[in-house]
A and B are shown apart, each in its own frame.
Chain A
């Protein structure tokens, strides 16, 4: 057996900003992973999965990164209970492909299925069912972690509970996750029964959201170019896995997704000119009016419901070589949300993709993002200084009302504001420092926010 092959590679998050050149290894089995870890020298380490975190959370300059994409074996599955034990590099698309035909679905899914279970735990991801099911970590027991000392330990709610707590949402900074047990949930079929409700402004959104609390999944697209009386208009979607015997018709959405999957690659459109306020306004206008007013019942495939953007490979390239930033925040007060939308719509920096949802009552602690309130996710082409200034301004509003932004999507938050947003950071860091006293695990985000060192 030769020693570890290290290769210099340029890694980036999904926003393609920033990019770093770093020494990488891509182990294919556990012994190779352990060897790479030993052979890193004194360098700090960070695991890298499928790169769907947006900003600098998955990146490490002047260190060693371990690519986990080939550590993707499923190790045990109990069809009675739905518990799956698998390596950290297993992706949600793998799980869905294997288990959906057998009537199981991951407990929580984000907007893309191209994430690893390791990344899902590190970011403690949430989905359209947060108000009922919480986050990924709420459905995980027994996590196997490679510590900075080289020791491998298990943690869960009973064994090493502090490590389990800090690893869930811990952005990969407590160790390299080797495997975990996650509970898959039974579903009757692959289709989604849903309703779309056109809402004409933010007040209507909150009304519909309130009366939709019993639907297992809710999410809304919002037209963030609008201001004044139409501010917050959008399409509210609610529903969930269909009952037995209800099948997806070939809806226009399905067909479009199928076409895009076969023929469209975002790299073809890589241009700094494509997404600007005019094109985004035109798209929003068309999308809003395409959906009939009132409530529509639809049966769709699970793909366009859960993962609409996965249909276009590399859609992140459409923002051009400068990349883009996503700003996702949660605020406990609606007025703050209104204020933020107001600022964005007046800024001239339109967000192509704007998603709004009310979280459930659960908070998860540590560095996990969701808390009760309304969350808004906005994508901005990387316009540079004016954008960064506006986002700083938004941070102040978020901090003032006791909200926070999602670290898995961040590339620019200040240390000071981070500390105000995540009051448990000190407790988290104390646990991390206890388990990684040598500061072996680091990331650009960790360094920026003072989580390591």
Chain B
């Protein structure tokens, strides 16, 4: 089973890669920083003795995505699971001042993700099997003043995955939306969070388990489903006055 992991240098992606490699699957790692991807690939190859590949991947270069996927399948074989783990939070204030920054956040988190997912989806639906995992965010469940560009892009990505799931379900392709709360990563380092932070290791395990069980929407840590349920239920009038 070939596993393709994009945004492979993040702590979450690396942990997911380790889970699948630990189960003996070959791993293809795509990242913008090819040197870092190569280091992760070497690490996984040494630790788990599975075949690994490191490939340069740019979420913003949507033109290249179809060829990128075709090349991988030619080299490593049919992709059985793809994990879309890339993303960029950007800087909200910078995005408000400079729309080019906002667009970049939208394009990485949504346009690029949808483009790549589409390139894989067509192949998987032809074969009638496969699994697409998109890492979204609880930030996509409700717009907030502190990160609405990132949040809206992740929200759009969640909706996209929902539609894709709808389309691919009759073709035997599984689509999972992983909505993650606070994880101890580069993005949250140094942040004072009101809610405990999950370790990347725990997230990686939860993602593989959920994918294998055919889960459609994974909230992790699980209590985030309840938290977001409440946050989504707050009327707009009230929400505006809260600083959540």
Contact = CB atoms under 8 A, between A and B. Distances in A.
Chain B binds chain A: yes
B189 A26 contact: yes
A298 interface: no
A74 B44 CA distance: 8
B36 interface: yes
A5 interface: yes
A28 B89 contact: no
A74 B36 contact: no
B36 A98 contact: no
B200 to A, nearest CB: 9
Contact of A76 (B9, B42, B47, B189): B42
B39 A7 contact: no
B11 A28 contact: yes
A343 B160 CA distance: 74
B39 A98 contact: no
Contacts of B91: 2
Interface of B is mostly: loop
B199 to A, nearest CB: 12
A436 interface: no
B39 A73 contact: yes
B146 to A, nearest CB: 15
Contact of A32 (B35, B90, B186): B186
Contacts of A1: 88
Contacts of A43: none
B211 interface: no
A73 B44 CA distance: 8
A74 B45 CA distance: 9
Contacts of A25: 189
Contact of A28 (B9, B42, B191): B9
B202 to A, nearest CB: 16
Interface in B1-55: 9-11, 33, 35-36, 39-40, 42-43, 46-47
B10 A28 contact: yes
A348 B88 CA distance: 59
Interface string B174-217: 00000000000110011100000000000000000000000000
Interface in B57-95: 88-91
B189 A29 contact: no
B42 A73 contact: yes
Given A2-B91, A73-B39, A98 B46 contact: yes
Given A28-B10, A29-B36, A98 B189 contact: no
B47 A74 contact: yes
Contacts of A30: 35-36, 39
B190 A5 contact: yes
Chain A residues touching B, majority SS: mixed
Nearest to A25: B189
Contact of A70 (B11, B35, B90): B11
Contact of A31 (B10, B33, B88, B191): B33
Contacts of B33: 29, 31
Contacts of A2: 89-91
A390 interface: no
A315 interface: no
A74 B189 contact: no
Interface string A16-33: 000000001110111110
Interface in A126-152: none
A154 interface: no
Contact of A6 (B10, B43, B185, B190): B190
Given A29-B9, A31-B36, A75 B42 contact: yes
B89 A74 contact: no
B95 to A, nearest CB: 12
A75 B43 contact: yes
A77 interface: yes
Contacts of B88: 1
Contact of A73 (B11, B43, B191): B43
B149 to A, nearest CB: 14
B190 A7 contact: yes
A77 to B, nearest CB: 5
Contacts of A5: 186, 189-190
B35 A74 contact: no
Contacts of A8: 190
A76 B40 CA distance: 11
B54 to A, nearest CB: 12
Contacts of B185: 28
Contacts of B43: 73-75
Contact of A77 (B36, B46, B186, B189): B46
A98 B9 contact: no
Contacts of A31: 33, 35-36
Given A5-B190, A7-B189, A28-B186, A73 B40 contact: yes
Contacts of B11: 28, 70
A157 to B, nearest CB: 25
Contacts of A24: 190
B231 to A, nearest CB: 25
B144 to A, nearest CB: 19
Contacts of A28: 9-11, 185-186
Contacts of B186: 5, 26, 28, 32
Nearest to A98: B47
A29 B37 CA distance: 10
B123 to A, nearest CB: 30
In the complex, the 5 A-B pairs of residues with the closest C-beta atoms, listed nearest first: A7-B190, A73-B43, A29-B36, A74-B46, A73-B39
12 contacts: A1-B88, A7-B189, A29-B39, A30-B36, A30-B39, A31-B36, A32-B186, A70-B11, A74-B42, A74-B46, A76-B42, A76-B46
Given A7-B191, A32-B186, 19 more contacts: A2-B89, A2-B90, A2-B91, A5-B186, A5-B189, A5-B190, A24-B190, A28-B11, A30-B36, A30-B39, A70-B11, A73-B39, A74-B43, A75-B39, A75-B42, A75-B43, A77-B46, A98-B46, A98-B47
